[in-house]
Amino acid sequence: MKITLNNFEAFLLDHLEGHLDAAQTTLLMSFLADHPELEVDLELSPVLSDAGITHHFVSPEKLKKADSAVAATSSFNAENYESSFAAFYEGDFNAERKAALYHFLNQNPQLKPEFEIYGKLRTEPDLSVVYPDKKSLKHHRVIPIYYTRWLAPGAVAAVIALFLLFNTNPANDSFSPIQSPLVAIADQPATSDSKQPITVAHQQSVQSQVVRKTGVLSRSEMNAQPVKRSHEVIALLKPLKVNKIEVAGNQPYKLDEGSRYYTSLYTDIRLRDQIRFQEEIDAQANQTIYGDAKAIADKNKFDLWALARLGVKGFNFLTNSDVDFVKARNEKGEVTDYAIGGDAIRIAHSSN
Amino acid sequence: MTVKEYNKCVDQHADAVYRFILKNLHDSERSRDVVQEAFTRMWEKAGDIDGSKAKSYLFTAAYHIMIDTIRKESRQTGMEEVHESRHFTTRHYSDLKRVLDEGLNRLPEIQRSVIMLRDYEGYSYDEIGEICGLNESQVKVYIYRGRIALKKYIGSMENVV
């Protein structure tokens, strides 16, 4: 049997009682030689207490000597001064206890070096140790999309709707009529497996009188006129002064100013932090997005993939995001895979 | 807790949790597993966790997974080897940080953990208690005992050249 710190006392007892053979005695001596800190005095007989073997191998003389070297004060003595030093450097002492400890140290100047060591016992992490593959711990929200003829364009139409939802300009707080170059509304949730075609409303230069509403909008109000609903939401969102808006649609939005919320595509936007200034959006939209939208509209035929790309572009302008939209085609030029994604979202589909 | 907050938590705390666990287990492979499991648990509970409490949740989860790991292994290997390493000898070192680091390795697991949470992460007694399942007094006692053991390991400053 191997001698360890856990069982050496039993071996010692056996040794003192003469029960160890020569080999075991050699092992024990070798163990004690390796552990001088145990300060085992083989000349002493062990003292057995009711509870069993106690710390009896350390010479009582040594302990007595150590005790007598420390002059006790009313608060500190040889028994507690070390834990008191530790407590002092942990910041656990109030002014009174500190003063008492300083007094104790003055009474026992030989302990001052030890006291100072306690002040240097702060351990430090090894900053060169890093988790080797943080990327593997991260998550992207994946929304499976079951492929049907219409749902892929439906999903991207929803992105466009999102873009347009935010990109119409209520000129100021008076909420003058707004100009919308293009409106696309997806009436089915993008993630459902519906075979029904997505309804896409296309309007050019639509003018709507926007009515300002504050507070919570009921579901019935929101469901009443789906197209107008977007304008109402726009009107409420743009000034960013509304405390709470709840919009019921296919997938309800719950928007709190300054906080995070999810759209039907679970793309998160922080209103206050990420939505860019309207003027900037307008300028960039006029330069790029509007031109792209007009080009699509001029064809008099929808290319929903182009619409999707446009929607993503607008979304990126609006939220300063880096959402990307990519497609993969086979040799026949058919779309086989597509993905929309950024830091917090990735929607991917493979037709294989 | 949102996906973004979760991923931010990975960036901010994965290294610290890994160091904490590695220091206890001394095995990079098993430590990685513990960290991964802790993050998995956090992800599964992400909806219920407040972002501001994420770090504390993570350390708590990692600590308990680590304890389970240690217990399982000690059942398999016996405690002899574990105790054997806890000896203190007078040595001479040129670097106090390294001495403390080695002394820390020789502390009992609970003392080592509370001292690391205190020193590395700056947690209060109360917070350490929550992570390790101890009350505040127990945390204090373990920290004091740990410091005294570290002091004994060092011996005197003359040993640190």
Beta strands A178-180 and A260-262, pairing class:
unpaired
Quick check: A38 and A57 in contact, CB under 8 A?
A: yes
Closest chain A residue to B16 measured between Cα atoms?
Answer: A130
Residue A237 pLDDT exceeds 50: no
Element (H, E) at A340: strand A335-341
pLDDT for res B27: 87
Instruction: Provide the 10 A C-beta neighbour count for residue A136.
Output: 12
CA distance B59 to A136: 19
Mean pLDDT of the A303-322 span: 73
Closest by CA to A233, choosing from B2, A223, A205, is A223
A78 band by pLDDT with thresholds 50, 70 and 90? confident
Can you name the residues that pair with B160 across neighbouring β-strands? B93
Per-residue pLDDT for A305 more than 50?
yes
- Predicted confidence at residue A285, as pLDDT, reads 66
Identify all chain A residues contacting B147, using CB atoms and an 8 Å cutoff: 85-86, 89-90, 118, 121
Q: Which two tokens stand for residue A53?
A: 């073997």
pLDDT at A138 over 60: yes
Is the pLDDT higher at A24 or at B117? B117
State the average pLDDT for chain B: 81
Q: Please say if the pLDDT value at position A190 is more than 50.
A: no
Instruction: For B146, name the nearest residue in chain A, comparing CA atoms only.
Output: A86
Which one has a higher pLDDT value, A265 or A65? A65
Better-predicted residue by pLDDT, A60 or A156: A156
Task: Provide the residue type at A214 as one letter.
Answer: T
Q: Which of A236-250, A256-270, A307-321, A325-339 has the lowest mean pLDDT?
A: A236-250
Contact A343 B7 (CB under 8 A): yes
Residue indicated by tokens 């993503």: A312
Nearest to A90 among B15, B143, B156 (CB): B143
In one-letter notation, the amino acid at residue A113 is: P
Task: Decide: A337 and A328 in contact? Cβ < 8 Å.
Answer: yes
* Averaged pLDDT, A156-176: 47
B159 pLDDT band, cuts 50/70/90, is: low
Is pLDDT larger for residue A99 or for residue A33?
A99
**Whether pLDDT at A203 is above 80:** no
Indicate the residue of B7, B80, B150 with minimum beta-carbon distance to A4. Answer: B80
For chain A, say whether B29 makes contact (Cβ under 8 Å): no
- pTM exceeds 0.80, yes or no: no
For residue A320, the model assigns a pLDDT of 62
In this prediction, residue A248 carries a pLDDT of 33
Residue B139 contacts A where some CB pair is shorter than 8 Å: no
For residue A137, give the nearest of B10, B28, B101 by CB distance: B10
Rg of chain A's alpha carbons, rounded to an integer? 38
The residue that leads in pLDDT, A254 or A305, is A305
Residue B62 has pLDDT above 90, yes or no: yes
Shortest distance, CA A206 to any CA of chain B (angstroms): 37
**Mutation to test the A interface, candidates B7, B99, B123, most A Cβ within 10 Å:** B7
Q: Which residue type, as a one-letter code, is found at position B127?
A: E
Is A5–B86 a contact, with Cβ atoms under 8 angstroms apart? yes
Q: Is the pLDDT of residue A200 over 50?
A: no
Mean pLDDT, range A130-146, rounded to an integer: 67
SS3 percent helix, strand, coil of chain B, rounded to 5, is: 80, 0, 20
Of chain B residues 78-97, which have a CB less than 8 A from chain A? 79-80, 83-84, 86-90, 96-97
Asked if residue A336 lies in contact with residue A351, where contact means CB atoms within 8 angstroms, the answer is yes
pLDDT interval class at B116 (50, 70, 90)? very high
Q: What are phi and psi of A144, to 5 degrees?
A: -70, 135
Q: Considering only residues 108 to 137 of chain A, which have any Cβ-Cβ distance to chain B shorter than 8 Å?
A: 113-114, 116-118, 120-127, 129-134, 136-137
Q: Token digits for A253? A: 């939005």
Q: Judge whether A35 and A3 are in contact, CB under 8 Å.
A: no
User: What is the model's pLDDT at position A168?
Assistant: 43
